[in-house]
């Protein structure tokens, strides 16, 4: 094992499984958006690695931007109060948006962002989520492209942190 205390981690999805899933998602998105002006919006920080890998599997011209949010509350619990701490750089009016998120837990973050972005009058808006934790849902949110479904455990790796650590693990794991 390495130097990050990974011996306590149980691997849920390997680097290879994640890669294959992203190839599938990229193919679907490519097919669905052919001929459209697609803008991918990554939600920072958790989705930065997923967004970077996903766009390289999308085989049409694509614009990319990022939005950073913080949710008040403890490190592992979402309070539902979301604040935009870095807004988009570009105007999304009239564009087809694909919101890329690492994980949907309660659904509150995605719901807030969907409402916020809809008010900017995009042509359409869809969501692409690497991990879905349906058991934790408090509000319904549409997930148009889904990577994996996970149980109600706290996961780290592949962009997801615990106390800002473990984002650099190439796999997704949970702490036993
Ligand atoms: P929601 O608003 O859906 O409850 O939570 C969304 C955010 O909470 C995610 O973007 C992520 O930052 C964080 N989150 C939820 N579940 C997990 C988890 O299992 N692991 C990590 N690292 N973050 C999580």
Task: Map out the domains of the chain as residue ranges.
Answer: 15-149
pTM value is 0.94
Q: Which CATH class is domain 15-149?
A: alpha beta
Give the E-state strand segments of 45-118 in sequence order: 62-71, 82-86, 96-104
Using one digit for the tens of pLDDT, what is the confidence trace for 13-48?
999 999 999 999 999 999 999 999 999 999 999 999
User: Is residue 105 annotated as a catalytic residue, yes or no?
Assistant: yes
- Residue segments in the chain with a per-residue pLDDT below the cut of 70: 1-3, 5-7, 72-80
pLDDT at 70: 86
Q: Which residues line ligand 1 (CB under 6 A)?
A: 46, 78, 101-109, 154-156, 160-162
Which one of the listed residues 53, 102, 105, 132 is annotated catalytic? 105
Rounded to the nearest angstrom, the gap between the alpha carbon of residue 109 and the centroid of all alpha carbons in its chain is 11
Kindly write down the DSSP assignment for every residue of 11-57, as one continuous string.
Answer: EEE-HHHHHHHHHHHHHHHHHHTTTS-EEEEEEETTTHHHHHHHHTT
Please give the pLDDT value at position 5. Answer: 66
pLDDT at 6: 67
Which residues touch 131 (CB under 8 Å, ≥6 apart)?
A: 102, 103, 104, 147, 148, 149, 150, 155, 160, 172
For residues 84 and 70, what is the distance between their CA atoms, to the nearest angstrom? 7
Q: Is residue 141 within 8 Å of residue 127, measured between CB atoms?
A: yes
Give residue 132 CA to ligand 1 midpoint distance, Å: 10
Closest-lying ligand 1 atom to the alpha carbon of residue 138: 4
Cα 60 from Cα 89, distance rounded (Å):
21
pLDDT value of residue 63: 98
Q: What's the pLDDT at 78?
A: 58
């Amino acid at each position: 094992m390495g130097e990050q205390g990974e011996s306590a981690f149980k691997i849920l999805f390997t680097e290879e499984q994640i890669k294959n899933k992203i190839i599938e998602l990229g193919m679907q998105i490519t097919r669905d958006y052919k001929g459209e002006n697609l803008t991918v919006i990554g939600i920072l920080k958790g989705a930065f690695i997923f967004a970077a890998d996903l766009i390289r599997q999308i085989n049409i011209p694509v614009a990319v931007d990022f939005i950073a949010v913080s949710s008040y509350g403890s490190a592992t619990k979402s309070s539902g109060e979301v604040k935009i701490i870095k807004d988009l750089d570009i105007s999304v009016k009239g564009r087809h948006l694909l919101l890329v998120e690492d994980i949907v837990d309660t659904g509150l973050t995605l719901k807030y962002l969907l409402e916020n972005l809809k008010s900017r009058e995009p042509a359409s808006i869809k969501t692409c989520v690497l991990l879905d934790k349906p058991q934790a849902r408090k509000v319904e949110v549409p997930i148009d492209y889904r990577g994996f479904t996970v149980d109600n455990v706290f996961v780290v790796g592949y962009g997801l942190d615990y106390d800002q650590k473990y984002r650099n693990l190439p796999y997704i794991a949970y702490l036993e």
